[in-house]
Amino acid sequence: MQLFKLRTKLHQFNTFGDFAKEFDLGKNDLVITNEFLFEPFIKPLNLPCHFIMQEKYGVGEPSDEMMNRILTDVNHLNYKRIIAIGGGTVIDISKLFVLKNVADVTNAFERKIPIIKDKELVVIPTTCGTGSEVTNISIAEIKSKHTKLGLADDALLADDAVLIPELLKGLPFRFYAASAIDALIHAVESYVSPKASPYSQLFSKEAIGLSLDIFKNIANKGENYRFERLGDMLIASNYAGIAFGNAGVGAVHALSYPLGGAYHVPHGEANYQFFTKVFKVYQQKNPTGSIVALNHLLAEGLNTSTDKVYENLDAILAKMLPKKPLKEYGLKNTDIDVFTENVINTQQRLLANNYTPFTKEDIRNIFKELY
Ligand SMILES: NC(=O)c1ccc[n+]([C@@H]2O[C@H](COP(=O)([O-])OP(=O)(O)OC[C@H]3O[C@@H](n4cnc5c(N)ncnc54)[C@H](O)[C@@H]3O)[C@@H](O)[C@H]2O)c1
Ligand SMILES: [Fe+2]
């Protein structure tokens, strides 16, 4: 059994300028980013790179259609390296463009074409949750399937991941909160995954400790506290990415994908709706496995007792992001069965990482109770 891998080199810089100099950005580089990052941080450097602004190709999280529109513009450019600067959306889009001979990304997501790496990839996350800078996954809504699908392949791994906390200064709190909660979920789901090893758990554990400490302080001191800890939250997210890149995430992510795909709920927010409910069901079904150690970790991080961790977590997270009944996102009663089938049919990759197996009834009940 492989215990652990980390192929991506990790770097940290104080400013974007320091990074651009060290990495010698030039005419063979394709930078994929957003206008709001380009204007303040990149434009003043007058770099001779190719630039793509993601928001010109569509709003919201990636879809196969959005990626294909970018592909049309990217395919005639001459570049050897991709520099992805943005949140999970920009990063997951950029990952597809390292591949050889892609004319339609849907074929890559459905694995109808060989997945062969052809370009270098440098990733600079500007949110603090996805960990996508160190994972081999790209996630997109596949329009024809009405859900999100992940393509997991080592060809998508970044060669370099670069942490630059100053880039997060303009990140609005609601996006910060959704992504930071996603990081905690990556750490917690991977900690109890059957693929977890003592090495992946080391990273999960550190990510849980760091992020809970930051969240408690935000709950007490208010949202501006985040600015004091942007570097720490980026590291927590990166640790969680390393953990879940090795051990995987499970039911929380699996159940959230139809909600994200069909009703365009942002990824971190969608996960958050299922987080503690899934863990309460895990606890009921199998109270004696690695969830015991997880509950101790959470109790320590939250200053509470192990029997109160999920209520306590709900209370702290509710100060960052509202939790809503699923119908408030537009979910219809009939979606409960549709989503259940959808999870069973399209998310086996993730369900295989569950702490304990879920039956179709377990999944249906969770949708029903959160409805
Ligand atoms: N590949 C993986 O391993 C992995 C893991 C988790 C999530 N994801 C995917 O990542 C996506 C979500 O990523 P996310 O949570 O980072 O959100 P995001 O990239 O969609 O960004 C959220 C919003 O914040 C804006 N934004 C990003 N950085 C900013 C900054 N520094 N300043 C101001 N605004 C900024 C974006 O333009 C967007 O409007 C989803 O599609 C999800 O499926 C991928
Ligand atoms: Fe996630």
Cα 136 to ligand 1 centroid, rounded to whole Å: 16
Do 140 and 187 fall into the same domain? no
Q: Beta 137-142 vs 147-152: how paired, if at all?
A: antiparallel
pLDDT in tens, 345-362: 999 999 999 999 999 999
The domain that holds 180 is classified in CATH as 1.20.1090.10
300-341 pLDDT tens trace = 999 999 999 999 999 999 999 989 999 999 999 999 999 999
**Which ligand 1 atom sits nearest the alpha carbon of residue 170?**
32
Say how many Å lie between the CA of residue 182 and the centre of ligand 2: 5
Determine, yes or no, domain membership for 2. no
The answer as to whether 4 is a domain residue is no
Whole-number average pLDDT of the chain: 97
- Which pLDDT score, from 0 to 100, does residue 43 have? 98
pLDDT reading at 1 higher than 90 = no
My answer on whether 134 and 233 are in the same domain is no
pLDDT in tens, 104-157: 999 999 999 999 999 999 999 999 999 999 999 999 999 888 888 889 999 999
Residues 181 and 283 in one domain: yes
Total structural domains in the chain?
2
Q: Which atom of ligand 1 is nearest to the CA of 90?
A: 19
Instruction: Answer yes or no: do 61 and 147 share one domain.
Output: yes
- C-alpha of residue 314 to centroid of ligand 1, in Å: 23
- Pick from 35, 55, 59, 89 the residue to mutate for probing ligand 1's pocket: most ligand atoms within 8 Å of its CB: 89
Closest protein CA for atom 35 of ligand 1: 171
Q: Mean pLDDT across the stretch 155-184?
A: 98
Domain termination site, one of 105, 133, 167: 167
Domain boundary among 137, 167, 197: 167
195-213 pLDDT per residue, tens: 999 999 999 999 999 999 9
Q: State the maximum Cα–Cα separation within the chain, in Å, rounded to a whole number.
A: 59
**Domain membership flag for residue 304:** yes
Which ligand sits nearest to residue 139's alpha carbon?
Answer: 1
Check whether residue 348 and residue 277 sit in a common domain: yes
230, 345: one domain: yes
Look at residue 80 and tell me whether its pLDDT is greater than 90: yes
Q: Is residue 40 part of a domain?
A: yes
Q: Count of CB atoms within 10 A of residue 260's CB?
A: 23
Residue whose CA lies nearest to ligand 1 atom number 5: 130
Q: Is residue 117 part of a domain?
A: yes
Residue of 189, 355, 364, 194 whose CA lies nearest to 286: 355
* Ligand 1 mutation pick, 35, 37, 42, 61, max ligand atoms within 8 A of CB: 61
Same domain, 97 and 187: no
Among the atoms of ligand 1, which is closest to the Cα of residue 168?
31
Give the pLDDT confidence of 285-303 residue by residue, as tens digits. Answer: 999 999 999 999 999 999 9
**Domain CATH number, residue 73:** 3.40.50.1970
Nearest atom in ligand 1 to the alpha carbon of residue 138 is 1
Q: How far is the CA of 311 from the centre of ligand 1 (A)?
A: 27
> Averaged over 95-101, what is the pLDDT?
95
Asked, for residue 209, whether it belongs to a domain, the answer is yes
> Could you tell me what percent of the chain has a pLDDT over 70?
100
**CA 34 to ligand 1: nearest atom:** 37
Of the candidates 136, 78, 142, 80, the residue with the CA atom closest to the CA atom of residue 110: 142
Of residues 76 and 81, more confidence is placed in 81
Percentage of residues of the chain with pLDDT beyond 90: 96
177, 163: one domain = no
In angstroms, rounded to a whole number, what is the distance separating the alpha carbons of residues 233 and 366? 30
What is the per-residue pLDDT for 94? 98
Angle subtended by helix axes 173-191 and 291-302, to nearest 10:
140
Q: What is the mean pLDDT of residues 226-233?
A: 98
167, 188, 210 - which closes a domain: 167
Closest C-alpha among 95, 224, 85 to residue 162:
85
Do both 222 and 350 map to the same domain?
A: yes
The answer to whether residue 3 sits within a structural domain is no
**Inter-CA distances, 334 with 114, 142, 211, Å:** 38, 21, 37
| 57 lies in the same domain as 202 | no
Mean pLDDT of 179-205: 98
Pair 88, 215 in one domain: no
Instruction: List all residues 6 or more positions away from 297 whose beta carbon is below 8 Å from its beta carbon.
Output: 191, 205, 208, 209
Domain ranges, residue 128: 9-167
Q: Ligand 2: distance of its center to the CA of 267 in Å?
A: 6
